[in-house]
Amino acid sequence: MDKITVAEARRVEAVGRQVRLRGWVRTRRDSKGGFSFIELNDGSCQGNVQVVAPGELGNYETEVKHLHTGASVVIDGEVKASPAKGQATEVLASRVERVGDADAESYPLQKKGHTFEFLRTIAHLRPRTNTFGAIARLRNQVSKSIHDFFQEQGFLYVHTPIVTASDCEGGGALFRVTTIDPDSPPKVDGKVDYTKDFFHKPAYLTVSGQLQVEAFACSMGKVYTFGPTFRAENSNTPRHLAEFWMVEPEMAFFDLTDDMDLAEAFLKRIIRDALTHCAEDMKFFAERVDKEVFARLENVLNNPFRRVPYTEAVDILLKAGKTWEFPVAWGNDLQSEHERYLTEQHFKCPVILYDYPRTLKPFYMRVNDDGKTVRAMDVLVPGVGEIIGGSQREERLDILEERMREQGLHPEGYAWYLDLRRYGTVPHAGFGLGLERTILFLSGMANIRDVIPFPRTPGSAEF
């Protein structure tokens, strides 16, 4: 007897095998003929396998007929070709063991059709639903594609720290990491004395692994980091999390064009892999979540991304004849409404905007010869807006120091980072792809809280 998954049991090749399945009951239906149908799921795939439990089973009357939705079971039996429509196989049980019951009165997933808002309140149980099972499998596939893509191209995976003293993005949206007692902090001159703190200086959760991964790019060539990042911005939007996962490749001797080429190939690879390896889940998204999902992904796969300077994008938006919630002017940041207009209505394809005003972007981006813009690029996709942010980095020491001062940062605090320009500096570039924005884009889900297992947002760190 082989222990196999529901995914394996659903394949026609399994017919004739004696197997053991372990999982959770989605539904039980008792037939007038004195036997029961159990729809079993174990998370290995979207579909259930139908188990036929005959009335002859010793515990049929006492247990099988009382199996509730959500109960865990072990089932032994033979895989048979199924006479029913829509399934290749079913399992004729020779033994059904109830492992853990789920009370029919109180089990929150007793009925189908809960709203995503409600399911957020039971985030520990929602992976048992079709949608969240599909999301979990898709996240897994995208994570695998990220490693496959970079490993195949000779990139080195670098583990950058979670705790850091540097504010990479300069936005100041940092979570402080401290062991100081908030009720009686050590003080000097009326202010908290962080030299007495655990790290002997202020420390934070990282907003990005970029600065540290640059150190490895500037010694090992092509590298990437992939891990959780944290932003304490108070953005209650369907596209922002306080804790999200980001993959950040960084390449020595790459300029902005090389960076864009890599970003485009990378995103297309992720899409192709999802369509190939998550076909059943992608079909589910297309049927239940977003009818446009396949058309949108095919469009992205089959078209080159449009590369448009920021200045040209501003002209397009000014001429769009629209009233915007946030005013459009050269030097203003583009908001989601502008990004989505460009990619969904104007160009109708992914757009890479580049050469943004220097005032809008962090200190580390390379200043262009015009002195006004920097070698930044944002990749915008239909349905989501910004999915990637990147740049060519400023490799010239004097200009980098000037940019830090311009943005109110003290170069002394970034001495180690400046050393990378002091000793053997090289042109280099990189970008960051948000994992959750990618899952939104692939699945058509509307809210970023529903594409991460346990979302952290302002006012919410349950579970």
The site partner of 82 among ligand 4AD, Mg ion, none (C-beta below 5 to 8 Å per kind) is: none
Site string for ligand 4AD, 121-160 (x = CB under 6 A): ----------------------------------------
Q: Check binding of 444 to Mg ion (CB under 5 A).
A: no
From candidates 174, 293, 352, 387, binder to ligand 4AD by CB under 6 A:
387
Q: Tell which one of 79, 251, 388, 451 touches ligand 4AD (CB under 6 A).
A: 388
For ligand 4AD, which is the closer residue by CB, 5 or 368?
Answer: 368
Q: Give the burial class of 405: count Cβ atoms within 10 A of its Cβ; 0-12 exposed, 13-18 middle, 19 or more buried.
A: exposed
Q: Supply angle C-alpha 414, 418, 419, rounded to 5.
A: 120
Q: How many CB atoms lie within 10 A of CB 295?
A: 12
Q: Which of 463, 448, 450, 13 is CA-nearest to residue 231? A: 448
Residue 386 has which token pair? Answer: 């910004």
Judged by beta carbon distances under 5 to 8 A according to partner kind, the member of Mg ion, ligand 4AD, none in contact with residue 137 is none
Which string of x and - marks every residue 373-412 that binds Mg ion (by CB under 5 A)?
----------------x-----------------------
390 binds ligand 4AD (CB under 6 A): yes
Residue with Cβ nearer ligand 4AD (48 or 208): 208
Binding residue count for ligand 4AD, defined by CB under 6 A:
22
- Least separation in angstroms between residue 400's CB and Mg ion is 20
Tokens standing for 417?
């980072």
Structure-block tokens of residue 239: 């596209």
241 touches which of ligand 4AD, Mg ion, none (CB within 5 to 8 A by kind)?
ligand 4AD
- The reply on whether position 437 binds ligand 4AD by CB under 6 A is yes
Place of tokens 């302002």: 458
Q: Examine residue 93 and tell whether it contacts ligand 4AD (CB under 6 A).
A: no
Task: Indicate whether 430 belongs to the interface with ligand 4AD (CB under 6 A).
Answer: yes
- Decide: is 362 part of the binding site for Mg ion (CB under 5 A): no
- Is there binding between residue 386 and ligand 4AD (CB under 6 A)? yes
In the range 167-226, which residues lie near ligand 4AD by CB under 6 A?
168-169, 208, 210
The CA distance from 308 to 262, in Å, is 17
Q: Is 434 in the site for Mg ion (CB under 5 A)?
A: no
Residue 267 binds: one of ligand 4AD, Mg ion, none (C-beta under 5 to 8 A by kind): none
Cβ proximity to Mg ion, 161 vs 170, nearer residue: 170
Binding residues for Mg ion, rule: CB under 5 A, are: 389
Binding residues for ligand 4AD, rule: CB under 6 A, are: 168-169, 208, 210, 231, 240-241, 244, 246, 248, 386-391, 430-432, 434, 436-437
